[in-house]
């Protein structure tokens, strides 16, 4: 029989054993109150990897004595949700049936569900047939459809502090019956960067491979393929940086190579597409305004199509943006203007271009003498003659 993985072995069963996220689970904080009062509602946990999203969902479901269904949006689809619903209906479940246990669906990486899949989920969350707990590392404002998002509370989780990581490693050491010296612990904390799951995986792998934990053994372990591409680690940032810089330099071959590396490693395609939208305005800008149209079209296509076909859309957009002429004129101008906003605060808007919805405002001179196509400087008086472009 395969031994239980270390992260599962030390997974907390109650909030009292949970480490981190004090702003959510501390005394009188929202998730603790929800558990203590047994409030049933849908919510989304937004935060970096390995900070307790799955654990909190399980603790919440257990506290409410709910049936718990754990799906990953990477591999799950409509059929998986249908089977959960059918199971409930088979046993006579109705949305307002107080005699049935609530059904909680934990959907990990909810940002990987496309619009069609989220639309399918929506009416079942609305009716109360399913209570949804979504988990995401991406901003739900961009990744979750507004109708579904409006029916969920959003809780933001923080990466774990070094002190919290130390506490988790100590717990793992006791449960796993292994000795972890101070230098090894410090190395693990630095390497994991607030991600408990990664820390525990490295500890477990090193112990299985070498029978003892040391900095040398940990370094050897982390070079193995099982940690090939951490979407929060250095390789992630190095690759996206190389991708952006290759497009900026007008080198489509290099940009396509780094794109292929990210897609092959399992990077979220919408993360890449979102960076393309930013690049279109930041680096291409006024030199070729249609770049923003293309980048947004790529984002929409990626959202609608999904992988593996979406890689073709990403390649199309990447080559186009790399070959575009570049201009950071509008980007630089905005930040010059922002500097003046921060330096001078809210300077008075000239009366001529103020809104005048009431008689009093008109009497005070608001909007007086306004001309649609005036060449007069419309900046606040303190900034007259200033040029940002």
With CA atoms as reference, report the closest residue to 170 among 184, 151, 156, 150: 184
- The pLDDT score that the predictor gives to residue 307 is 81
CATH number at residue 280: 1.20.272.10
Domain for residue 1, yes or no?
no
First and final CA of the chain: distance in angstroms?
68
- The pLDDT score that the predictor gives to residue 166 is 94
Domain boundary, last residue among 111, 131, 156: 156
Q: Are residues 214 and 99 in the same domain?
A: no
Domain for residue 75, yes or no?
yes
Cα(7)–Cα(20) distance, integer angstroms? 15
Cα(62)–Cα(106) distance, integer angstroms? 13
Could you give the angle at which helices 310-323 and 269-279 cross, rounded to 10 degrees? 20
pLDDT, tens digit (0-9, with 9 covering 90-100), for 311-348: 999 999 999 999 999 999 998 898 888 888 888 888 88
Q: What domain count does the chain have?
A: 4
Element spanning 142, H or E: helix 140-143
- The pLDDT score that the predictor gives to residue 139 is 83
Could you give the angle at which helices 215-222 and 196-210 cross, rounded to 10 degrees? 110
Phi, psi at 162, each rounded to 5°: -55, -35
Phi, psi at 107, each rounded to 5°: -110, 100
Q: Are residues 283 and 347 in the same domain?
A: no
- CA–CA distance from 6 to each of 134, 204, 206 (Å)? 24, 6, 12
Domain boundary, last residue among 227, 258, 284: 227
Peptide bond into 229 cis (omega under 30): no
Range of the domain at 364: 343-383
Cα(208)–Cα(206) distance, integer angstroms? 5
- The pLDDT score that the predictor gives to residue 88 is 63
DSSP tally for the chain: helices H, then strands E: 19, 5
pLDDT under 70: residue ranges of the chain:
1-3, 88-99, 223-236
CATH number at residue 82: 3.40.50.300
Cα(384)–Cα(77) distance, integer angstroms? 58
pLDDT, tens digit (0-9, with 9 covering 90-100), for 82-129: 888 887 666 554 444 444 788 999 999 898 888 889 999 999 999 989
Domain for residue 39, yes or no?
yes
Q: Are residues 30 and 152 in the same domain?
A: yes
Domain boundary, last residue among 289, 323, 357: 323
Q: Are residues 368 and 263 in the same domain?
A: no
Domain for residue 210, yes or no?
yes
Q: Measured on CA atoms in the order 91, 95, 100, 101, is the torsion positive or negative?
A: positive
Structure pTM? Answer: 0.61
Domain for residue 333, yes or no?
no
CATH number at residue 195: 1.10.8.60
Q: Are residues 25 and 132 in the same domain?
A: yes
Domain for residue 4, yes or no?
no
Cα(294)–Cα(289) distance, integer angstroms? 9
Element spanning 133, H or E: strand 131-136
Domain for residue 13, yes or no?
no
């Amino acid at each position: 029989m395969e031994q239980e993985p270390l992260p599962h072995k030390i997974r907390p069963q109650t909030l009292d054993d949970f480490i981190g996220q004090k702003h959510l689970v501390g005394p009188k904080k929202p998730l603790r109150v929800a558990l203590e009062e047994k409030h049933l509602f849908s919510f989304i946990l937004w935060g970096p990897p390995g900070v307790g999203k799955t654990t909190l969902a399980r603790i919440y479901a257990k506290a409410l004595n709910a049936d718990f269904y754990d799906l990953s949006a990477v591999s799950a689809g409509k059929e998986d949700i249908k089977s959960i619903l059918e199971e409930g209906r088979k046993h006579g479940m109705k949305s307002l049936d107080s005699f049935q246990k609530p059904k909680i669906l934990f959907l990990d990486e909810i940002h990987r569900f496309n619009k069609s899949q989220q639309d399918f989920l929506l009416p079942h969350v609305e009716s109360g047939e399913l209570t949804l707990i979504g988990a995401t590392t991406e901003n739900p404002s961009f990744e979750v459809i507004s109708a579904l998002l409006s029916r969920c509370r959003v809780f933001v989780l923080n990466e774990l502090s070094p002190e919290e990581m130390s506490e988790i490693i100590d717990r793992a050491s006791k449960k796993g019956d292994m000795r972890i010296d101070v230098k090894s612990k410090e190395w693990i904390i630095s390497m994991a960067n607030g991600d408990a799951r990664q820390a525990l995986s490295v500890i477990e792998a090193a112990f299985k491979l070498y029978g003892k934990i040391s900095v040398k053994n940990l370094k050897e372990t982390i070079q193995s393929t099982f940690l090939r591409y951490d979407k929060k680690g250095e390789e992630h940032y190095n690759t996206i940086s190389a991708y952006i810089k290759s497009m900026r330099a007008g080198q489509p071959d290099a940009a396509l190579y780094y794109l292929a590396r990210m897609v092959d490693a399992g990077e979220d395609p919408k993360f890449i597409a979102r960076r393309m939208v930013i690049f279109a305005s930041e680096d291409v800008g006024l030199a070729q305004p249609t770049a923003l149209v293309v980048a947004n079209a790529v984002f929409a296509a990626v959202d609608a199509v999904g992988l593996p076909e979406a890689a073709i859309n990403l390649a199309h957009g990447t080559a186009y943006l790399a070959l575009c002429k570049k201009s950071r004129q509008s980007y630089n101008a905005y930040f010059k203007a922002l500097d003046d906003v921060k330096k001078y605060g809210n300077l008075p808007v000239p009366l001529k271009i103020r809104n005048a919805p009431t008689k009093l405002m008109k009497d005070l001179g608001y909007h007086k003498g306004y001309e649609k196509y005036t060449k007069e400087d419309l900046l606040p008086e303190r900034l007259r003659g200033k040029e940002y472009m």
